[in-house]
Amino acid sequence: MLEEYLASIEGGKYGVCFSSGMATVDSCLKLLDGGDHVICSDDVYGGVSRHFNRILSKYDLHFSYVDSTDPENVKAAIRPETKMLWIETPTNPLLKVTDLEAMADIAREHNLYFGIDSTFATPVFLRPLEYGADMVVHSTTKYISGHNQLIGGVVVTNREDIYEEMQFVQKTIGAVPSPFDCWLTMLGAKTLHLRMPRHSENAQIVAEFLESHPKVAKVTYPGLPSHPQHETAKSQMDGFSGMLCFELEGGIPAGKTVMNSVRLCALAESLGAVETMITHPATMTHADVPAEERHARGLTDGLVRLSVGIEDAEDIVDDLKMGLEKV
């Protein structure tokens, strides 16, 4: 039931559910053979690049990470053995937005599997199958279940050959979700269309507040005209979702002060639930990445990621105001 439900809200024919978002990504990569090459967005979810680099590369799969916001970078990375294009949009945590029409053209021309991790956008705001994606993946741990209650994932496709392979992988490797988790996911998914517009409205209000705050150097939110891919986001998405990040002037100490001063925002590494969650990548999600590499990727010491919840927007703004006063 859940597979059919999630396929239908994504506008696709087939859905296959897994025990986590990561098990879903791993299963999609099992469409490939040893020697194949994958082009991947450079700011993908950290667990995905870790999986590609530390596990799949041992099985003779090869990966190139490119800034997919410029299609020329993707074209330049194509090799004879390239078999898959793996795009995340918007990305985690820098909210880069990739033009899916341009990616679909490249995938078609070079006969590549075209997979999209659409966890941040959800089917409410983006339906990548309409743009020619072969596979749309969600970590249902996040917005789709929406209440920090479980871990799960889904892949939706219109291609029967991919569907059959995904079903085969699902039962063969045993990365199946439990019936109870499926039931909980279904409960969450039934309010997705009500939650997402609220996440998006709140994030817009919070982003505008932060952009006007003197202690904030920069705010990145696809709904702000200052976002480098704002126009692409506006044309391919029906809303900008609830994720944003901002840059504090004072580096690690300022980040820590804000983390320790907020009261409503929960200090947490997950995202996409009804509660607002705040993360300091330099000391939390990316603490094990050497500072130089972190900085090169744009994950600066003062960067704060916010998963804006569905509380009263004024309460979220007041909480951040209080946290920023302590800096």
Ligand X SMILES: *Cc1c(COP(=O)(O)O)cnc(C)c1O
Binder to ligand X among 92, 158, 220, 279 (CB under 6 A)? 92
User: Is 185 among the residues that bind ligand X (CB under 6 A)?
Assistant: no
- Count of residues interacting with ligand X (CB under 6 A): 15
HSE-up (13 A, CA, CB side) for residue 209 = 19
Binder to ligand X among 5, 36, 47, 230 (CB under 6 A)? 47
Q: Which is nearer to ligand X, 41 or 254 (CB)?
A: 41
Q: Give the x/- contact pattern for ligand X in 95-124, rule: CB under 6 A.
A: ----------------------x-x-----
CA angle 42, 237, 312 (to 5 degrees): 100
Q: Which is nearer to ligand X, 175 or 216 (CB)?
A: 175
Which of these segments, 19-27, 125-133, 156-164, 261-269, binds ligand X (CB under 6 A)?
19-27
Q: Which is nearer to ligand X, 27 or 119 (CB)?
A: 119
Q: Which is nearer to ligand X, 20 or 69 (CB)?
A: 20
User: Is 27 among the residues that bind ligand X (CB under 6 A)?
Assistant: no
Long-range Cβ contacts of 56-63 (<8 Å, 24+ apart): 56/26, 56/29, 59/34, 60/34, 60/35, 61/29, 61/32, 61/34, 61/36, 61/37, 62/35, 62/36, 62/37, 62/38, 63/37, 63/38, 63/39
How many Cβ atoms are within 10 Å of 268's Cβ, its own excluded?
15
Q: How far is the CB of 20 from ligand X (least distance, A)?
A: 4
Indicate the DSSP class of residue 177: P
Binder to ligand X among 12, 93, 153, 222 (CB under 6 A)? 153
CA distance 192 to 262: 27
Residue ranges in 213-232 that form contacts with ligand X under rule CB under 6 A: none
298, amino acid identity: G
Residues that bind ligand X (CB under 6 A): 20-22, 45, 47-48, 88, 92, 117, 119, 139, 141-142, 151, 153
